[in-house]
Every structure is written in structure tokens, then in C-alpha cells.
């Protein structure tokens, strides 16, 4: 067994490395944003006079690539830092879930109260990222996620009320942890989403073709029913 002091030293070094990495990524993101500004300036200059179509296409692809890279780095920086929530007591999770849907998916909700102390902005983004991530394969195959159904129900069986959200027919739901793959933009956003869910006191799990999120609800709502 390693001495305790050695293990603590390694943990400290890893923590320092993590903080340094976040700062490096933050600085690189700022540099990419600067390069994007220069590229945008060149594109505007080129558009003032006739230029070959391939030159404009190239610079547009360059700007798009810089923007994607900077956006992904922003997600990495946010993942590397502590989640700071601005909770609002009595926030309606059903409404938050509906606002998170942008890909045409539908929601099936059981008739219940879903009030909890949630950060509506952070949770809306997290649920949106999960939906985009788990149905990415279906959207690529069909062009949209319109036939995807998200299920929301309330579970009081354990004494502590929780909301259960399920994304079904998930591609590779059992063969890999979609929240820890860190594969591309979707993987980064899924990891950040899981961190936001856990900061709310919830959890995320994956089974065969199902992703499940559980979030604590307010007890007071039960007593007032």
C-alpha cells in the first residue's frame, strides 16, 4: 500500500494539474476568439470586391471551425470548475423540461406536481444537452428527433419525492457511459449536464437503451396536495 502522505501528494498534484488545464483551455479559447475576429474582418474585406468562390468558402469554413472549437473549450472550462447554482424554490420541472426541447421530441408527463428548488437556466441547458446527446444517432439517421418521446413521472415510493425523467430507445445506452465518454461536442455537453444534475442532488444512470435522470422534489408540495 502507498503511504497516506504519498497518496495525498498525488491527489494535490492532480488537483493542481486540473486547475492549470482549465486555465490553459480558457486562455486558448480567448486566442481562438481573437483569431475568429481577424478571420471575420478578412471575410468582410473580401466581400467588398469580387473574389473566387473557393476563397470565401474556405474562410467561412475557417470561421465555423474556430467557433466550434471555442464553444467546446467553453464547455470544458465550465466542466472543470465548480457548479454554482441559483436555485428558485417551487420551480416547475415539467415546465423546465418542456422549455429544454428544441429537436421536435415530445414529452409524456404523468399528472403530478413537479416543484423543486431548481436553477431553471442551468437545468434547462442540461436537459437540452442530454436530449441532443442521447438522440444524436437518431437525428443523424432521420434528420430530426420528432419521433423521440421523453417520459416524466413522480416517484414517492422511497419517502423522498423525486422526479424521474427517461429517454428511451437510446443508441448504445448499455454499451457505453454516454456521460463519461467525452467523445466530441456531444460527449462534453453530456458530461457537463451530468455534473449539473448531480449539483441539484440528483443522479443519472444508463440501462439498455434508456437514460434515466432522477431529481429531488420539494416535500412541501406533498403536504399541500
Segment 151-175 mean pLDDT: 83
Distance CA 148, CA 103 (A): 9
Residue 169 has pLDDT above 90, yes or no: no
Q: Output phi, psi for 3, to 5 deg.
A: -60, 145
Q: What is the pLDDT of residue 135?
A: 77
Residue 138 has pLDDT above 60, yes or no: no
Segment 195-221 mean pLDDT: 88
CA distances from 216 to 31, 114, 118, 224 (A): 40, 9, 9, 17
Segment 168-185 mean pLDDT: 70
Residue 38 has pLDDT above 50, yes or no: yes
pLDDT band at 199 (very low <50, low <70, confident <90, very high): very high
Segment 143-161 mean pLDDT: 79
Domain spans, the chain: 4-80, 88-223
Structural class in CATH, domain 88-223: alpha beta
Q: What is the pLDDT of residue 132?
A: 85
Mean residue pLDDT of the chain comes to 81
Q: What percent of the chain has pLDDT over 90?
A: 31
Lowest mean pLDDT among 23-27, 30-34, 128-132, 187-191: 23-27
Residue 223 has pLDDT above 60, yes or no: no
Segment 14-24 mean pLDDT: 66
Between 199 and 45, where is the model more confident? 199
Residue 107 has pLDDT above 70, yes or no: yes
Residue 50 has pLDDT above 80, yes or no: yes
Q: What is the pLDDT of residue 198?
A: 95
Q: What is the pLDDT of residue 35?
A: 85
pLDDT band at 222 (very low <50, low <70, confident <90, very high): very low
Amino acid at each position: 500500500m502507498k503511504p497516506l502522505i504519498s497518496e495525498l501528494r498525488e491527489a494535490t498534484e492532480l488537483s493542481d494539474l486540473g486547475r492549470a488545464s482549465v486555465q490553459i483551455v480558457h486562455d486558448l479559447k480567448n486566442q481562438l476568439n481573437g483569431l475568429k475576429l481577424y478571420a471575420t474582418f478578412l471575410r468582410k474585406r473580401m466581400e467588398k470586391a469580387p473574389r473566387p468562390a473557393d476563397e470565401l468558402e474556405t474562410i467561412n469554413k475557417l470561421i465555423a471551425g474556430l467557433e466550434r472549437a471555442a464553444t467546446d473549450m467553453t464547455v470544458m472550462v465550465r466542466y472543470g470548475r465548480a457548479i454554482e447554482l441559483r436555485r428558485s424554490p417551487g420551480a416547475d420541472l415539467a415546465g423546465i423540461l418542456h422549455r429544454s426541447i428544441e429537436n421536435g421530441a415530445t414529452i409524456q408527463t404523468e399528472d403530478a406536481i413537479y416543484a423543486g428548488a431548481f436553477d431553471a437556466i442551468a437545468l434547462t441547458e442540461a436537459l437540452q444537452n442530454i436530449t441532443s446527446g442521447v438522440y444524436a444517432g437518431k437525428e443523424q439517421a432521420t434528420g430530426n428527433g420528432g419521433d423521440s418521446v421523453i417520459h416524466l413521472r413522480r416517484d414517492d415510493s422511497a419517502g423522498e419525492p423525486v422526479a424521474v425523467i427517461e429517454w428511451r430507445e437510446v443508441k448504445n445506452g448499455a454499451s457505453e457511459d454516454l456521460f463519461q465518454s467525452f467523445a466530441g461536442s456531444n460527449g462534453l455537453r453530456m458530461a457537463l449536464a451530468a455534473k449539473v444534475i448531480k449539483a441539484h442532488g440528483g443522479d443519472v444512470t444508463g440501462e439498455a437503451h434508456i437514460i434515466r435522470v432522477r431529481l429531488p422534489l420539494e416535500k412541501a408540495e406533498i403536504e399541500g396536495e
